[in-house]
Chains A and B, each alone.
Chain A
Amino acid sequence: MINPRLNQWFKTGTPWIWLNAGAIAIALVAVFGLLMLILMRGMSHFWPADVQAFYYKNNENALTVIGEIVESETIPIDTLPDFKKIRNTQAGDKTVTRYLVKTGNRDILGSDFRWLYDINLVKTEQPKNLMVLERVEWGNFYGFLNTVYENDQMVAEGETAWPEFIKRLHRVIDIRKQILQLERVKIGAVNYQLERIRLKERRLQLNNDLSDAAKKEIETQRSELKQQYSDLLKQTKELYQQINRDSIRATVMDGSEVTVPLKKVVKAWQPNKMTLWNKLGFYMHSLWDFITEDPREANTEGGIFPAIFGTVMMVMLMAVLVTPFGVIAAVYLREYAKQGVLTRIIRIAVNNLAGVPSIVYGVFGLGFFVYFLGGNIDALFFPEALPSPTFGTPGLLWSSLTLALLTLPVVIVATEEGLSRIPKSLREGSLGLGATKAETLWRVVLPMASPAIMTGLILAIARAAGEVAPLMLVGVVKLAPSLPLDGNFPYLHLDRKFMHLGFHIYDVGFQSPNVEAARPLVYATSFLLVVVIVTLNITAINLRNRLREKYRALDG
């Protein structure tokens, strides 16, 4: 050691303690940093940011670019493959600042994003009447509204165009809702009934029960449904004609005028004109839409309602399955089983199952539940649908069962802990007053353990809600055509595949064709999932702490 004072200082141990403190500081920064990152990126997605018009000039040409700045970075020039194209670089310049600008208009420009180099910007402004359209396909549209057309007739231009456009847009949105209602709900129901009739017929055929009377009945039902179907189809056709009526013409950034049919527009706003309050209102509205709407464009746009719904359904089913079994197993281990080596081994084994990788449960679920149980169920109860499987394919029931198995240890461990914390004196008091063991359990022990059971259940739900790997094998899909719960008998469709928030994140973030454009949406989905899970966990932790306090008081 060069410096004896430094040596002395190290000997006191203070620097080591500070290093330890540093470790925990890093961990804290990591946790909160990550949460903040998700929060910022997830929540900024819905903010109607101002849109800029950049006047831009590089070695090749001058152009106007309209869009929102998404990101800016300063990078060394050498790493740019096309740095020769950049106009004003000086010989000494080593770095260059550039902005990633979301220009939208994917149908016209080919891509949503474009890099702009700071040094080439001539002028930036925020034109008040710039308009942003969220469209059914091709992403956002940026441009200036010129005229509004009804069929081929111009109905508004200039100042009056915008209010007219908004008025007509509301009408279109209304019609779109009606179409959706007709197609999804009504026609869906008819199709579903037709399929049921087909299966019924096939079943009768398989059992050799297809009498002429039955045949006739089926035929009448079928023709009735077909009639309904064609009626509904006619109605939708009419609506489609109505929705085609209006269109607008708008100028885009290269100066050309394009026609946008209103039926393609989901939402329209002029961000540069909006006040802060307008923006806040718009923001809340967008957030609401995000939570309640169906996804569009291969999940990269629109809402995530089916994913939320699927996650909740699956978790609820799982909770229904896991609670009784987990509690019974815990009660057995703690109250009834003889406390010996075997019980200890079982307890350790159950405990360790919590550490078995979730994907292993997925593999087991696929092999045992789906192929073995599901295959046999199909052969026994649904022979009419074969060879297309009913339960012999991944679905909601199997996902819930697999996750129930996965979270069983969590519930067992938590319940056992709760049971073990109940003071012996209470049990003995109850037994001493003449209650049987079952009565003691039911009236004294379980009510007192109920917060512990709740804790276990909440932890189980939190774990299940975030679990993705096993679900990829036993039931989730990127896009489910229908929800597992709907108005068609038997209402709850346990055999259906479903969408899931976690899988949605994986799928949109990694499997979608336009990852860059979909990224804000993934952050928003992540944020939602994190909020749900962190809330659940905090509730569980608080419950647990409160419980401990309570029993401590009882003990004393």
Chain B
Amino acid sequence: MKNPSLQVRYNRRAFKDRLARYFVASGGISVIIAILLIFFYLLYVVIPMFEPAEIRESASYRAPGDGKTLQLGLEEQGTVGVRFTSEGHVIFFKTDSGKIIRDENLHLPASITSVAANLNLVALALENGSVLAIRYKFDLSYPGDVRTLTPVLDYPLGKDPLVLDESGAALSHIDIQLSDDVVGVAATTNDNRLVFARYQREESFISGDISIELESRSEQPFQGEIYAVALTPGLDHFYASAENGRLFDYSLDEDGFDGKKRTYNLEHKITRLKLLLGGSSLLAGMENGEVQQWMSVRKDGGRELVYIRNFVKNRQAVSYIATEQQRKGFAVADNRGNITINYSTSQRTLASINTANTLVDQMAWSPRAQNLIVSDSNNLVHFYKVDNEYPEVSWDVLWEKVWYEGYDEADYIWQSSASTNEFEAKFSLMPLSFGTIKAAFYAMIFAVPIAIFGAMFTAQFMAPRMRQTVKPAIEIMEALPTVILGFLAGLWLAPYVETHLAGIFTLLIILPVGFLLCAWLWGFVPNKSAFEGWEAALLVPVVLLLIWISTALSSPVETLFFNGSLRNYMSNVWGLDYDQRNALVVGLIMGFAVIPTIFSIAEDALFGVPQHLVRGSLALGATRWQTMTSVVLPAASPGIFSAVMMGFGRAVGETMIVLMATGNTPVMDMSIFQGMRTLAANLAVEVPEAEVFSTHYRVLFLAALILFLFTFVFNTLAELIRHRLRQRYSEL
């Protein structure tokens, strides 16, 4: 290296070499990271669902205004709160400071004896047996681009208190339900009567005047003491908690109490009753801190309350239950100031906090459940911020039977959307996983024998020249777009199978019989050695013939044995339901799609068995078949096993075929004549419609993650087995 220009050139080359090294290394590593990213991003979307909720106190102050707090409320964003006081005032205040915005005196004729609230409707029961209903609202305006809220009070039952009890007894407990035209008010009086009144309400569009007309009023006497009452939105049940942990369930109709009454024993004193959103679940808060959820369930023609689940994170007597306004969640407070945030269907207690350290007597959620406002017995108001976006999901919701409202028993249900507000999404992954396994199972039943037997023949018995064309042909089969297979399955095979059901089953029987018959007849053919290894080619016309025969036989067989249609016969005589797009169709076509996967790998394994083993066996006098079963198969069995696993992995993840060849109903039924909904098809259907970062979206990502992990683990196992096998062959 004396020549300096050579030296320079050498240096430049060495530099380039280093550069290339770094470039390739960084490129290669970043590609690998990108691949890992799939896993981590899916995980990143899924994890927030399983994290607990957060609650923190953002302000605490003396209750604004005078008197005791009877009821609290919040506006949409939680910036303004409202407080109904024992003095008959409605006070609007800033939630961050407690500063009063507006103080409205209701000028009540008598003192307030009890209060009920339903969303933004508050009913005040008075000592003289009358009721005043008030709705608080917030008018939103933007004067000078500043968001300004103007509190408004509105009286849906008129400005004057409505006389509920004509004898004028004080109302000790009250509940109210208001719909567009019907109002129901239920109360207990301090002279031991239950009173229920039902009103027709009409609001004039022009003047806004409200006319209230009494439809019915009825009452029932009771013994002892009542601690809490609740009235269902349908005005058909009136629940009351009484002494010794008893819960009374009075049935109502349009004329009031219809005389039916059921009693349930909850063993502990029920301190609070509250209906969850939608009104079909009753929450009973008890003296020992437990909250039980009871649900109205159809039973023997009537409806009955059934114990569903409980929440036990509060240890002291429950002092208040506040239900969320848009979901089936609720907050529970007890007389030591512990507040827990719970969700009914997932049976989760998501967060708890205690900043009051004394009895909490009132709580209210903001409509979107992002804020909670609380007042305690020291007349302090606490304002909490709550971050609780995904309470609906838990392990049990995803994988166990859950008893949902409106159902007669606990079940696995996937139902992600519906039209009504009170609907709650049902996220059981069981029906989907079941459907996935079912589809894969039927595909495997069809594919495994054909692929493995075919691989056995191709690897060991087939003439090399034929093998050269057969292998690529079957590999091309793997490349066929599944959307085409799915389309054929749904629009060609499904109707065909439906009308030729008998033919399909005939084919299952006559195919092997036909092959055996051919083999037997072939024994009589002279000079057949030239055809050795070409048996498969000889059988192709046989297969075609048999298919033709079974098609031709289909109609006569159905006419002869099954009154013309096997499909109708099955449903009428055997009670088997038949979906046109069912597991049989999926099994056939998806089986077709996985055959090449299994075939290709199994054939490689069988073909790779060292030839000296085969020749040795044959030389020792074993027949070709004996060599196959006792030498080749055992040697290649791990490879075949891994082929089957790979095939299963592919069947599990297949989307388009299942999407197009089944009805996509998430049922759990193993019947071959029923459809299913698989995880993959479900993703294809629902992901584009899921709201970004909603619980539904995250559950779908969880489904994707499950598919990812399942196939990845399955394939890795198969790959490891194959690797082992390859090593063993090379040792032999």
Contacts and interface: CB of A to CB of B under 8 A. Distances in A.
B536 A13 contact: no
Contacts of A24: 453-454, 457-458, 462, 470, 536
Interface in A61-104: 73-79, 94-95
B210 interface: no
B45 interface: yes
B341 to A, nearest CB: 28
Contacts of B499: 73, 75
B479 A466 contact: yes
Contacts of B544: 29
A211 B731 CA distance: 81
Interface in A471-489: 472-473
B533 to A, nearest CB: 9
Nearest to A394: B688
B564 A17 contact: no
A192 B650 CA distance: 45
B490 A29 contact: no
Given A13-B623, A462-B479, A505-B487, A28 B42 contact: no
A358 B655 contact: yes
Interface stretch (A131-139, A164-172, A324-332, A417-425): A324-332
Given A20-B453, A76-B564, A529-B481, A405 B38 contact: yes
B559 interface: yes
B24 interface: yes
A506 interface: yes
Interface string A323-354: 01110110111011100000000101111110
Interface in B696-720: 700-701, 704, 707-708, 711-712, 714-716, 719-720
A505 to B, nearest CB: 5
B558 interface: yes
Contacts, number: 347
A534 B475 CA distance: 10
A21 interface: yes
Contacts of A368: 37, 41
Given A27-B450, A509-B487, A509-B490, A352 B624 contact: no
Interface stretch (A119-127, A288-296, A437-445): A437-445
Contacts of A367: 41-42, 45, 701
B194 interface: no
A76 B566 CA distance: 11
Interface in A523-542: 526, 529-530, 533-534, 536-538, 541
B652 interface: yes
B445 interface: no
Contacts of B680: 357, 359, 469
A78 B563 contact: yes
A526 B558 CA distance: 33
Interface stretch (B28-36, B176-184, B665-673): B28-36
B539 A21 contact: yes
A500 to B, nearest CB: 10
**Interface range for B:** 35 or more
Interface in B669-692: 680, 683-684, 687-688, 692
A538 B476 contact: yes
B162 interface: no
B592 interface: yes
A73 B723 CA distance: 53
Contacts of A412: 31
B558 to A, nearest CB: 7
Contact of B482 (A356, A466, A541): A466
Interface string A370-388: 0110000000000000000
B683 A359 contact: yes
A360 interface: yes
Interface string A3-27: 0000001001111111111111111
Interface in B522-559: 522-523, 535-540, 542-544, 547, 555, 558-559
Contacts of A349: 35, 712, 716
What is the interface of chain B mostly: helix, strand, loop, or mixed? helix
B483 A352 contact: no
Contact of A359 (B452, B599, B707): B707
B25 A332 contact: yes
B595 interface: yes
Nearest to B690: A366
A360 B708 contact: yes
B14 interface: yes
B20 A346 contact: no
A276 to B, nearest CB: 29
A465 B479 CA distance: 10
Contacts of A356: 38, 653, 707-708, 711-712, 715
A31 B477 contact: yes
A465 B599 CA distance: 24
Interface in A491-531: 502-503, 505-506, 509-510, 515, 519, 522, 526, 529-530
Nearest to A334: B28
Nearest to B27: A328
B470 A28 contact: yes
Most central of B458, B625, B659 by chain A CB within 10 Å: B625
B21 A438 contact: yes
B656 A468 contact: yes
Given A75-B499, A356-B712, A473-B688, A332 B626 contact: no
A467 interface: yes
A34 interface: yes
A363 B27 contact: no
A397 B300 CA distance: 60
Most central of B42, B472, B656 by chain A CB within 10 Å: B656
B247 to A, nearest CB: 46
Contacts of A14: 519, 523, 625
B515 interface: yes
A358 B35 CA distance: 14
B483 A506 contact: yes
B616 interface: no
A167 B483 CA distance: 42
A467 B481 contact: yes
A436 interface: yes
B660 interface: yes
Interface string A406-442: 0010001000000000000000000000001111011
B519 A15 contact: yes
A364 interface: yes
B518 interface: yes
A128 to B, nearest CB: 35
A362 interface: yes
A37 interface: yes
Most central of B27, B475, B659, B704 by chain A CB within 10 Å: B704
A180 interface: no
16 contacts: A15-B516, A17-B461, A17-B535, A21-B535, A22-B453, A22-B512, A23-B453, A30-B592, A34-B485, A351-B719, A355-B649, A355-B653, A367-B45, A436-B13, A466-B483, A468-B483
Given A73-B499, A437-B21, 14 more contacts: A9-B523, A12-B625, A14-B523, A17-B628, A18-B518, A24-B462, A356-B712, A357-B707, A359-B707, A363-B700, A364-B38, A473-B687, A515-B491, A533-B480
Interface of A: 9, 12-32, 34, 37-38, 73-79, 94-95, 324-326, 328-329, 331-333, 335-337, 346, 348-353, 355-364, 366-368, 371-372, 405, 408, 412, 436-439, 441-442, 462-463, 465-469, 472-473, 502-503, 505-506, 509-510, 515, 519, 522, 526, 529-530, 533-534, 536-538, 541
Interface of B: 13-14, 16-17, 19-21, 23-25, 27-29, 31-32, 34-35, 37-38, 41-42, 45, 449-454, 456-458, 461-462, 470, 472-477, 479-488, 490-492, 499, 511-512, 514-516, 518-520, 522-523, 535-540, 542-544, 547, 555, 558-559, 563-565, 568, 592, 595, 599, 623-626, 628-629, 646, 649-650, 652-656, 659-660, 680, 683-684, 687-688, 692, 700-701, 704, 707-708, 711-712, 714-716, 719-720, 723
